[in-house]
Chains A and B, each alone.
Chain A
Amino acid sequence: MATKHARVAARFMISPAVLLLLGWMIVPLSMTLYFSFLRYNLLMPGMEEFTGLTNYRFFLTDPAFFAALTNTILLVGGVLLVTVVGGILLALLLDQPFFGQGIVRILVIAPFFVMPTVSALVWKNMFMNPVNGLFAHAAKALGLQPFDFLSAAPLTSIIGIVSWQWLPFATLILLTALQSLDQEQLEAAEMDGAPWIKRFWFIMLPHLARAITVVILIQTIFLLSVFAEILVTTNGGPGTASTNLTYLIYMQSLLQFDVGGGSAGGVVAIILANIVAIFLMRMIGKNLDA
Chain B
Amino acid sequence: MGRITLDKVRKTFGDVEVIPPLDLTIEDGEFVVFVGPSGCGKSTLLRLIAGLEDVTSGQIRIDRQDATDLPPAKRGLAMVFQSYALYPHMSVRKNIAFPMKMAGLPQDEQDRRIEAAAKALNLTDYLDRKPGQLSGGQRQRVAIGRAIVREPAAFLFDEPLSNLDAALRVGMRLEISELHKRLATTMIYVTHDQVEAMTMADKIVVLRAGHIEQVGSPLELYNRPRNVFVAGFIGSPKMNLISGAEAEKHGAVTIGIRPEHLGISTESGLWKGVIGVSEHLGSDTFFHVTVEGLGEPLTVRASGEVSLKYGDIVWLTPNEVNLHRFNAEGLRIA
Which A residues fall within an 8 A CB radius of B? 182, 184-185, 187-194, 198, 202-203, 206-207, 209, 290
Say how far A205's CB is from chain B's closest CB, in angstroms: 10
> Contact: A191 with B103, CB < 8 Å?
no
Inter-chain contacts of A182 with B (CB < 8 A): 83, 85
Inter-chain contacts of A202 with B (CB < 8 A): 87, 98
Say how far B157's CB is from chain A's closest CB, in angstroms: 13
Beta-carbon nearest neighbor of B75 in chain A: A191
> Contact: B77 with A192, CB < 8 Å?
no
> Contact: B85 with A188, CB < 8 Å?
yes
Contacting A at CB under 8 A, from B130-168, are 146, 150
B89 sits at the interface (CB 8 A): yes
Inter-chain contacts of B72 with A (CB < 8 A): 187, 190-191
> Contact: A191 with B52, CB < 8 Å?
yes
Secondary structure dominating the interface of B: loop
Mark B49-87 against chain A: 1 for CB-CB distance below 8 A, else 0.
011100000000000000000011100011101110111
Report which of B82, B83, B89, B99 forms a contact with A192, defined as CB distance below 8 A.
Answer: B99
B16 sits at the interface (CB 8 A): no
Say how far A284's CB is from chain B's closest CB, in angstroms: 16
B102 sits at the interface (CB 8 A): yes
Give CA–CA (A210, B83) in the complex, Å.
22
Inter-chain contacts of B88 with A (CB < 8 A): 207
Inter-chain contacts of B79 with A (CB < 8 A): 187-188, 191
Beta-carbon nearest neighbor of A210 in chain B: B89
Beta-carbon nearest neighbor of B143 in chain A: A188
Secondary structure dominating the interface of A: helix
Inter-chain contacts of A193 with B (CB < 8 A): 73, 99, 102-103
Inter-chain contacts of A198 with B (CB < 8 A): 102
Q: Can you give 27 A-B contacts (C-beta < 8 A)?
A: A182-B85, A184-B82, A185-B86, A185-B87, A187-B52, A187-B85, A188-B87, A188-B146, A190-B72, A191-B51, A191-B52, A191-B73, A191-B78, A192-B102, A192-B146, A193-B73, A193-B102, A194-B73, A194-B98, A198-B102, A202-B98, A203-B87, A206-B87, A206-B89, A207-B88, A207-B89, A209-B89
Give CA–CA (A187, B98) in the complex, Å.
13
> Contact: B98 with A192, CB < 8 Å?
yes
Extra A-B contacts (8), CB below 8 Å, given A184-B83, A187-B85:
A182-B85, A184-B82, A185-B86, A187-B72, A188-B81, A188-B146, A190-B72, A194-B102
> Contact: A184 with B150, CB < 8 Å?
no
> Contact: A190 with B73, CB < 8 Å?
yes
Give CA–CA (A209, B90) in the complex, Å.
13
A-B residue pairs, 7 tightest by C-beta: A193-B73, A192-B99, A188-B85, A184-B85, A193-B102, A206-B89, A184-B81
> Contact: A185 with B85, CB < 8 Å?
yes
Say how far A6's CB is from chain B's closest CB, in angstroms: 32
Which B residues fall within an 8 A CB radius of A? 50-52, 71-73, 77-79, 81-83, 85-90, 98-99, 102-103, 146, 150
Give CA–CA (A206, B86) in the complex, Å.
13
A191 with B102, Cβ < 8 A, contacts A184-B85, A203-B87 known: no
> Contact: B77 with A191, CB < 8 Å?
yes
Beta-carbon nearest neighbor of B156 in chain A: A191
Give CA–CA (A185, B50) in the complex, Å.
15
Inter-chain contacts of A194 with B (CB < 8 A): 73, 98, 102
Say how far B185's CB is from chain A's closest CB, in angstroms: 16
Give CA–CA (A191, B146) in the complex, Å.
11
Say how far A96's CB is from chain B's closest CB, in angstroms: 17
Report which of A185, A190, A203, A206 forms a contact with B52, defined as CB distance below 8 A.
Answer: A190
Inter-chain contacts of A189 with B (CB < 8 A): 87, 98
Scoring B51, B98, B103 by chain A CB atoms within 10 A of each residue's CB, the highest score goes to B98
Say how far A179's CB is from chain B's closest CB, in angstroms: 16
Inter-chain contacts of B81 with A (CB < 8 A): 184, 187-188
Give CA–CA (A198, B78) in the complex, Å.
18
Say how far B136's CB is from chain A's closest CB, in angstroms: 15
Beta-carbon nearest neighbor of A290 in chain B: B89
Inter-chain contacts of A187 with B (CB < 8 A): 52, 72, 79, 81, 85
Beta-carbon nearest neighbor of B52 in chain A: A187
Give CA–CA (A185, B52) in the complex, Å.
12
Say how far B90's CB is from chain A's closest CB, in angstroms: 8
Say how far A158's CB is from chain B's closest CB, in angstroms: 36
Say how far B314's CB is from chain A's closest CB, in angstroms: 50
Give CA–CA (A182, B86) in the complex, Å.
10
Beta-carbon nearest neighbor of B73 in chain A: A193
Inter-chain contacts of B85 with A (CB < 8 A): 182, 184-185, 187-188
Give CA–CA (A190, B71) in the complex, Å.
9
Beta-carbon nearest neighbor of B98 in chain A: A192
Give CA–CA (A191, B75) in the complex, Å.
9
Inter-chain contacts of B99 with A (CB < 8 A): 191-193
Inter-chain contacts of B98 with A (CB < 8 A): 189, 192, 194, 202
Beta-carbon nearest neighbor of B50 in chain A: A191
Give CA–CA (A187, B43) in the complex, Å.
14
Beta-carbon nearest neighbor of A198 in chain B: B102
Say how far A208's CB is from chain B's closest CB, in angstroms: 11
Give CA–CA (A202, B52) in the complex, Å.
19
